[in-house]
Homo-oligomer: A and B are copies of this chain.
Amino acid sequence: MNSKGKGPMHGEIITIGNELVSGQTLDLNAWYAAGRLAACGLSVTRITTVGDHPERAVILLREAVEHSRFVIVTGGLGSTEDDITSEIVAEALDRPLCRDEEMFALIRSYVIRRGGEMTPSLEKMAWVPQGSRMINPRGTACGFSLKEGGVRFYFLPGVPDQMRFLMDRFVLPEILKEAKTLPVMRLRVLKVYGPSEPEVAELIKEFPHREGGPLLGFYPHFPENHITISLRGRDEPSVIAELNRTEEEIRRYVGPYVFATGNDRMEDAVGQTLTEKGLTLATAESCTGGRIGDRITNAAGSSAYFLGGVVAYSNEAKMNLLGVSEATLREHGAVSAPTAREMAEGVRERFGADLGLSVTGIAGPDGGTREKPVGTVHIGLATREGTRAGKYRFWGGRDQVKAHTAMMALDWVRRELHGHPFLPGV
């Protein structure tokens, strides 16, 4: 197993927590770290999860010194009794715990700002193994790193947001810098919605690969699919130019399916285009219960283009608040194209918006019929030019149907604004 120093720079990931070995929490941290490292061309040889059990973790850390060039450890950095990472490191690497004064001051100022009091368990967070260096010394997400026998160890918090931030911002750049060869590494993420998982996988597989050329990856993120292009090179301009060429080629296959790149979400992409065009949006939601509005307002500054919406769960609400006619509901039912149209038109008019977006469907598990099974969804979009409606059939449980419906509805707005045809329905 010892291949230290040979081949491409490789490392391992260790996650610590009883909630992980008991299956109570899904290990998103190991998955995220592994994906990011792989996208940078770094290889992970193993991922190990142990409970809050000092002896096992000590053995693991000692093994890591022998086998890896870098080690990412997450979890066990908090203020509770279970948070034993510092003690484990101290024992495994034979380094006494010292109070990091910068860290201590940071925790204290944070606690005082919130009107709290410094307690021994909070102070405990500032005690780290001798020779440790704080990661992100001025932020509230905190971890530490140290070097032992030429191996760089990173200890990150188990809270996914903090872990991801520190990983992207501090850990990856440093590991890549130490990897030295071909120091510039750039990653591009294309997010697509529409093609199925096998379709995207097939596309990636068939893309011509050449040694030292861009590396393609494929990461399903229900209901999206992400394509990553990563490339290492000697200088930034040539790497960027090559990435641009590759992105262009890929877009030739999946062009209109790409809704965003990088860290942008669908709601960011829609928001940017609405802003550019100076248009406003209002939503009328039935089966999604408010999820579309929730997503739109995840984008900071969305009040500039999102006027609001109506969650019309009951037929009465569809009539009273959106002006859907009783005849339409009686003749076609709440889950129908005519209802979706009237909802979209009604909300557009009532909010005085440029675009009125509506969804009505059956999220399940009950309420399905032979004619309109669970997962049947109608989407409507009203603009100054007119109103369109489309029917889809989504698979999965209640949450999956809601997620797909919200995504498809937002994709309608995006495609409308860009002049792309809507994804075909049923």
Could you tell me which A residues sit within 8 Å of B by CB distance? 1, 18-28, 30-39, 43-51, 53, 55-56, 59, 78-82, 114, 119, 121-122, 159, 197-198, 201-202, 204-205, 217-219, 222, 228, 283, 285, 287-298, 300-303, 306-314, 316-317, 320-321, 350-352, 363-367, 395, 398-399, 402
Q: What's the number of copies of this chain in the assembled complex? A: 2
Q: A23-B36, A26-B26, A27-B27 are in contact. List 13 more A-B contacts (CB 8 A).
A: A19-B217, A21-B38, A22-B44, A81-B201, A289-B293, A289-B294, A290-B291, A297-B363, A308-B312, A308-B317, A310-B310, A316-B352, A320-B351
Is the pair A48, B51 in contact by a Cβ cutoff of 8 Å?
no
Is the pair B311, A311 in contact by a Cβ cutoff of 8 Å?
yes
Which of B218, B303, B363 is A313 in contact with, Cβ under 8 Å? B303
Is the pair A289, B300 in contact by a Cβ cutoff of 8 Å?
no
Question: From residue A95, how far is it (CB to closest CB) to chain B in Å?
Answer: 21
Indicate whether A297 sits within 8 Å of B307 (C-beta atoms), given known contacts A37-B23, A49-B47, A218-B80.
Answer: no
Is the pair A300, B35 in contact by a Cβ cutoff of 8 Å?
no
Indicate whether A298 sits within 8 Å of B395 (C-beta atoms), given known contacts A23-B37, A290-B291.
Answer: no
For A25, the closest partner residue in chain B by CB is B219
Residues of B within 8 A of A36 (CB): 23
Q: How far is the CA of A228 from the CA of B19 in the complex (A)?
A: 10
Q: How far is the CA of A77 from the CA of B3 in the complex (A)?
A: 27
Is the pair A34, B50 in contact by a Cβ cutoff of 8 Å?
no
Residues of B within 8 A of A50 (CB): 45-47
Which of B79, B121, B313, B402 is A306 in contact with, Cβ under 8 Å? B313
Which of B35, B45, B49, B283 is A51 in contact with, Cβ under 8 Å? B45
For A58, the closest partner residue in chain B by CB is B1
Q: How far is the CA of A369 from the CA of B312 in the complex (A)?
A: 34
Is the pair B293, A308 in contact by a Cβ cutoff of 8 Å?
no
Question: From residue A397, how far is it (CB to closest CB) to chain B in Å?
Answer: 8
